[in-house]
Amino acid sequence: MDLRLNGKTALVTGASRGIGLAVVRTLAAEGVRVVAAGRNPGPELAAAGAKSVAVDLTDPAGAAHLVTEAVAELGGLDILVNNVGGGDGDLPGGFLDQSDAQWAEVMDLNFFATVRVTRAALPALLERRGAIVNLSSISARVPLGSPIAYATAKAATTAFGKAIAEEFGPRGVRVNTVSPGPVRTDMWESPTGYGAGVAEAMGVPHADLLAGLPAQVGMVVDRLVEPDEVAALIAYLASPLAAATTGADHLIDGGAVKTL
């Protein structure tokens, strides 16, 4: 299917690995010129044909710097994918175990980075009547106690997308949210990531945790979601084929969320 994205321009945050890297590759394959942002951009981004920018989006000045670099490189902006985030630093533990500093760190990465980049990018997106896709999580709909700060930040991200869609839709900018379930990324698979921390806290081998995770979270498919599957949904929502789709939160969770 031709998504009619050839020649468009995009900025993707959190692009160095996982879902972000998959989004860069998918958009580039559709003929999109991409600026890819990450704390430590790797050679994979260049191999995908993207221009990489090293930036820390928990720094309040980082968003404006990034958008300025992207618009200068691309000559304008059609698509913004706010993928930056992660639960890696929010290790298992209850509410009373989390300090203000830990909450601030998780909120900065998973919510305020999206707010700041969106604010900086909107003038350019308004010029092109562009599209924004924000990455949330099923944790926003089904918070299970831990990771509590991550789930709260993602709930805020989902609400933010809805509000921005309402305000800027009449001016031509579409905003959608994508909420994955467990995705086969380093967050779950790395021996030092969140999944490994959960396994240790539960006293089970990491491999056993991953094998049982789809059933444990209620997925009706027997595997984790693939990053390329999430990227394909994001590319569609950013494309002209989804011109009437805005203000919506799109689950890609293998059937884990049971509510309407």
pLDDT tens digit string along 167-181? 999 999 999 999 999
Residues 187 and 234 in one domain: no
Rounded CA-CA distance 20/55 in Å is: 14
Known catalytic residue at 150? yes
Please check the confidence at residue 9 and state whether its pLDDT lies above 70: yes
Render pLDDT for 69-114 as a digit per residue (tens, 0 to 9). 999 999 999 999 999 998 655 555 678 888 899 899 999 999 999 9
Region 192-202 average pLDDT: 86
Please choose, from the candidates 77, 74, 20, the residue with its C-alpha nearest in 3D space to the C-alpha of residue 45.
Answer: 20
In whole angstroms, give the CA distance from residue 129 to residue 236: 16
> Over 60: is that where the pLDDT of 209 sits?
yes
Confidence (pLDDT) at 140? 94
Same domain, 161 and 238: yes
The number of folded domains in the chain is 2
Question: Could you tell me if 97 and 199 lie in one domain?
Answer: no
43 and 131 share one domain: yes
Which residues share a beta bridge with 134?
Answer: 82, 177
How many CA within 13 A on the CB side of residue 121?
A: 36
Enumerate the H helices of 38-147 as residue ranges.
43-47, 62-74, 100-107, 113-128
Q: Which residues of 159-170 are buried (b: 16+ CB within 10 A; e: fewer)?
A: ebbbebbeebee
Residue 48 has what pLDDT? 95
In angstroms, the CA 41 to CA 45 distance is: 7
Please report which helix (H) or strand (E) contains residue 19, including its range: helix 18-29
87 compared with 49, residue with greater pLDDT:
49
> Which pLDDT belongs to residue 90?
52
Same domain, 120 and 218: no
- What is the reported pLDDT for 197? 83
Return the pLDDT at 201: 84
Residues 123 and 237 in one domain: yes
- Of the residues 58, 71, 84, 150, only one is catalytic, namely 150
Predicted TM-score (pTM) of this structure: 0.95
124 and 134 inside one domain: yes
In a shared domain, residues 169 and 238: yes
Residue 198 has pLDDT above 90, yes or no: no
Residue predicted with more confidence, 260 or 76: 76
Q: Tell me: do 137 and 169 sit in the same domain.
A: yes
Residue 74: predicted pLDDT:
98
Count the residues in the chain: 260
**84 and 159, same structural domain?**
yes
The verdict on 210 and 113 lying in the same domain is no
Dihedral sign for Cα atoms in the order 15, 124, 129, 178: positive
Q: Is residue 1 part of a domain?
A: no
**Is 90 exceeded by the pLDDT of residue 126?**
yes
Instruction: Give the pLDDT score at 229.
Output: 98
Which segment of 18-32, 164-178, 186-200, 241-255 scores lowest on mean pLDDT? 186-200
